[in-house]
Amino acid sequence: MREKSSEEKIEEKLLHHKLRKVYKFLLIVLLIAAGVFAVWYQLENQVYTRFEQSTRMERVGSGQSRYLDYNGALICYSMDGIMAYDANGNQLWNQTYQMQNACVDVAGDYVAVADYQGNRIFLLNKQGLVTTIDTNIPVLSVKASAGGVLMAALQDEDTVFLRMYKSDGSLITNYRTTMRGFGYPMTYAISPDNIKVGISFMKAVSGKVGTAVAFYNFGGVGQNETDNLVSSYECEDEAVPYITFLNDSDAVSVGSKKVRVFSGKQTPKLEKEFELDREIDAVFSGGEHFALVTDSDDERYDIRIYDKGGNEKVVWPCDFEYTDITLLSDRMLIYNQTRLVVVSYNGVVKFDGELSGSILHVIPTDRYAGFFVVYEDKAERIRLR
């Protein structure tokens, strides 16, 4: 066997040295990854048994106020005005008005407000009032998008107008429909990217009431289509009172017979549908998930959580009358006047207990254990332990 030259021996030593450095680096990466996974697993599966108050504040709103989540903050509104508070209870803005029946919709940092059968619409964001729109016919409802546009349904006798506005108040589209035409709009939603609108039209076909779920594109793709209509689906002998976008590409509709999941960045197309085996009591959405609440055989309700593809994640039996349900990216909150329950989407009940007052609203302030709670007589930040 030929003896290695000195140059070959040096090259071999250098190669071994490089390989040791690579192995050492890979070992460090694996140890860090294992540590991160261990921390993540612990947090995801951690169960809390009590809570601590971190900050107490005066109550927000009044006895007539109603509350909504506001992208990590809080909306409080009544007949006299609407206010926004951050998670520390500091007021962000206050918009006064006089309304008999305020319709409010929140999407991202934007809030749309109008009086039912009134003629004025407000659009606000985290800095306050963005624009005010006066209409010449009464408003039925309003919707905001996370991208800062709004849509309003207005009615003049038997004609409904669906008007879409930019954040400066300028008109994007004015769609006119009647029951004898395309149908009566039961509900509608705007995609976060401001491009697509989904509308559920109730219509009469051969003496039976049905629904058409239609999607419109107000970007470049939709300009080539009649009335910007890019897809439409007939739901025979069925009412579809709920439609929402879970993100820029995925939408879901819930009808009296079926749930339908749509997907498409430009043209939403039906990807999945499944029949309902019992009547739906309520629908919630958030964090790219949606929840169907149904009566249960054993408990009061079953809360079924689905991901954006319509795949069932967990079924949680709820044994109490709830006030509200909030869906986040990895968990849901269920609460009533005294009790708060936090359930992960892998079925772990992370917290189930009574808080320190009569609960009006709960919003999360961080991903795991922090909450801002509004009670009848106070507000406070708490942390689960």
Q: For residues 311 and 308, give the distance between their C-alpha atoms in angstroms, rounded to a whole number.
A: 7
pLDDT value of residue 299: 80
CB 325 within 8 A of CB 293: yes
pLDDT value of residue 327: 96
pLDDT value of residue 3: 63
pLDDT value of residue 107: 95
**Ranges in the chain, pLDDT < 50:** 38
Amino acid at 335: Y
Q: What is the pTM of this model?
A: 0.86
| Residue 334, H or E segment | strand 331-335
Instruction: Please measure the distance between the N-terminal and C-terminal CA atoms of the chain and give it in whole angstroms.
Output: 70
Q: For residues 99 and 341, give the distance between their C-alpha atoms in angstroms, rounded to a whole number.
A: 34
